[in-house]
Amino acid sequence: MIHLDNKHFKLLQDKIYELSGIHIVDSKFAMIKNRVVKLMKDIHCDDVGGLLVMVDRDKKIAQDFINVFTTNKTDFFRESFHFDDLLDRVLPQLFKTQSRIKIYCCASSTGQEPYSIASTVAYAKKIYNASTQVEIIATDIDTQVLSIAKEGKYTINPLLEKWPKWAESETSEFFDVVDESNKVRHLSVKPKLKNMVSFRQLNLFNKKYPFNNEEFDVVFCRNILIYFTKPDQEAILQRLFALLRVGGTFYLGHSESLYDLADQTEKLGHKIFIRQR
């Protein structure tokens, strides 16, 4: 019988913070408990002290430990005004001025967000008759969600997940509709979108990111900062902001803030920011 109390939870909190920067608040203990117990059973470990030693010694167990603590909730076209802005303002401008566009999605979870970006790009290319090369780099710390994203197979309920009208009517352009029974839709991402997106693992808590300053025209940083403390959010934002070229667009999640960096941006509302300096 595995026993987990508040003292153990504090040890787990410290370890996940050290590995990922994720700040697990006390009220999440009950939610996390079952997941930790499952991991401990899987690796035949019955006390938290032993688990932490195994995490320190074994990279695979450390990764499984990180995967236990991530929250991966996501949807296609979540906060859809960002995709409207990409389609109506950002892409037509960039198609006119650039031969190559780079977009960064920094917490891509199971892939719905980067594939929504890729669908928007593919549709924009069609309606604006553009042949500009577009590359989307998508990263996450969680290896399990990255493998789901790479596979690109989804089950969606169109009644619960509202897509923009254009995306609804273009579904078969971007996805193979494998099955549409029982009110849910089984979709498989077509190579046309898959080829636009490359998935990699990246821990945003790392002090350095493997990209150049001003490498990206657009950065999506949505619903990820909320898992960090305010000082860590500010440090992550500084690193992400440096990757965005001056004039580029930064999309932030609805409950997140740019803090002092907002002074260096033009604010378009809906957490859409243009880097000014």
Ligand X SMILES: C[S@@+](CC[C@H](N)C(=O)[O-])C[C@H]1O[C@@H](n2cnc3c(N)ncnc32)[C@H](O)[C@@H]1O
Number of residues that bind ligand X (CB under 6 A): 25
Report the residue number, 132 or 205, with the smaller CB distance to ligand X: 205
Question: Is 26 among the catalytic positions?
Answer: no
Active-site pick, 26, 35, 179, 260: 35
Stretch that binds ligand X, among 120-128, 185-193, 203-211, 258-266 (CB under 6 A): 203-211
For residue 68 the two structure tokens come to: 């236990």
Pairing of strands 216-221, 244-252: parallel
* Residue 223 in contact with ligand X, rule: CB under 6 A: yes
Query: Which 84-143 residues touch ligand X, going by CB under 6 A?
Result: 107, 109, 113, 140-142
Q: Report yes or no: 114 and 149 within 8 Å, Cβ to Cβ.
A: yes
Report the residue number, 126 or 200, with the smaller CB distance to ligand X: 200
Q: Report yes or no: 209 and 221 within 8 Å, Cβ to Cβ.
A: no
Between 59-69 and 143-151, two packed helices, what is the crossing angle to 10 degrees? 80
Q: Report yes or no: 130 and 121 within 8 Å, Cβ to Cβ.
A: no
* Residue 22 in contact with ligand X, rule: CB under 6 A: yes
| Coil vs helix vs strand at 4 | coil
Report the residue number, 29 or 199, with the smaller CB distance to ligand X: 199
Question: Is 140 among the catalytic positions?
Answer: yes
CA angle, 150 as apex, 273 and 119 as ends, to 5°? 45
For residue 62 the two structure tokens come to: 């450390």
- Nearest distance from C-beta of residue 127 to ligand X, angstroms: 25
Q: How far is Cα 248 from Cα 242, in angstroms, rounded to an integer?
A: 11
* Residue 71 in contact with ligand X, rule: CB under 6 A: yes
Report the residue number, 61 or 224, with the smaller CB distance to ligand X: 224
For residue 276 the two structure tokens come to: 């000014």
Q: Can you tell me which of 72, 132, 188, 257 binds ligand X, judged by CB under 6 A?
A: 72
* Residue 7 in contact with ligand X, rule: CB under 6 A: no
Interface residues with ligand X (CB under 6 A) are 20-22, 70-74, 78, 107, 109, 113, 140-142, 145, 202-205, 222-224, 227, 253
